[in-house]
Amino acid sequence: MVLLSRSSFYFPPDDMLLRHRLLSLHSFATSFAASPPAPRPSTASFRRSLSLSARLKPANSPPPKRSAAARPPAADELVRTALFVPPGVPREEVTPDMLLSGSNIVLGPYAGHAQIKQVEFVKSSARARDCPKDDRPEFAILGRSNVGKSSLINALVRKKEFALTSKKPGKTQLINHFLINKSWYIVDLPGYGFANASQSARTDWSSFTKGYFLNRDTLVAVMLLIDASIPPQQIDLDCANWLGRNNIGMTFVFTKCDKMKGGKGTRPEENIKQFQDLISKYYKEPPPWIMTSSITGLGRDELLLHMSQLRNYWDNNELD
């Protein structure tokens, strides 16, 4: 595995934009071995298509061998192999200006209207089978308790306290559906890993939440929130691996990118790089990821654009 640094590649004048984009990722993007583009999936396998750039590595697969005299990959090769390339974008046609700021996400032809003009709370459900049944596409917001799920939702819809925020982790106990622009849903799921919850409560969470993931046909993708203000947590890695093994498309949304715990901890970009190094051991290609802050608004518009292209691809394939 090759880590990027400011001096890793020579960029001719025409590639200065590429250099700016890569350095904007705080020099912790990871390069991966190239693989051929996956064929465009059918509607029946849509959710699997969203993880086409996040395939799990086979168990005990050996790392690729690199010759000591091998030259580093060209800049355009790096763009095609280190980024999440969405459906509808051939890897060979990726250009630097297609990269969303603060992420590894390429913007493709399915990106469209991303502004939230109307939002309403629809219902809370204690069981997956009680969720709305109107076939609108939805994005699940998932993460460890106190990772900032409600704060992110409030930032996305630009309504303070629209989704309940609390100083007490584990406050969200139900599946909450919010209807966006009368056309799609944001789904706030209970946080996992709340140590003070009873064993029975943690068991119930696991069973009904996993049932939601496995049986919800309208689920476009999971936004898996990771706290960037602290070092990587094993429970987050375990959750990501479970989603990957079950072919559920996901995006890593790094929260609290404006914070550093106690003033003495590691910086958010260092924690993100550590998480990416750990997750790269299990994935052949990098899943999509993006940096956010509900305080400064970092990543809000970019995340909505990413969600729009996944949603529009889902809509188009459902209509075919």
- 9 within a domain of the structure (yes/no): no
Q: Which residues of 23-61 are buried (b: 16+ CB within 10 A; e: fewer)?
A: eebbebbbbbeeeeebeeeeeeebbbbbbbbbbeeeeee
Instruction: Identify the CATH number of the domain in which residue 285 sits.
Output: 3.40.50.300
Contacts for 197 with CB less than 8 Å, ≥ 6 apart:
170, 205
125, part of any domain: yes
Structural domain count of the chain: 1
Strand duo 119-125 + 175-180: pairing? antiparallel
d(CA 269, CA 25): 9
217 in a structural domain: yes
For the segment 2-37, what is each residue's pLDDT rounded down to a tens digit? 333 333 333 333 344 444 444 444 333 333 223 333
What digits encode the pLDDT tens for the residues 173-195?
Answer: 789 999 999 999 999 998 887 54
Question: Tens digit of pLDDT for each residue in 111-124?
Answer: 988 999 999 999 99
Q: Does residue 208 sit within a domain?
A: yes
Residue 200 is inside which H or E element, if any?
Answer: helix 199-215
Q: Is residue 58 a part of any domain in this protein?
A: no
Residue 310 structural domain: 75-317
- pLDDT higher than 70, residue 200: no
Q: Is residue 64 part of a domain?
A: no
Residue 8 DSSP class: S
In a domain, residue 286? The reply is yes
Residue 294 domain-assigned? Answer: yes
Total-model pTM: 0.76
Going by C-alpha positions, the residue among 117, 35, 87 that lies closest to residue 221 is: 87
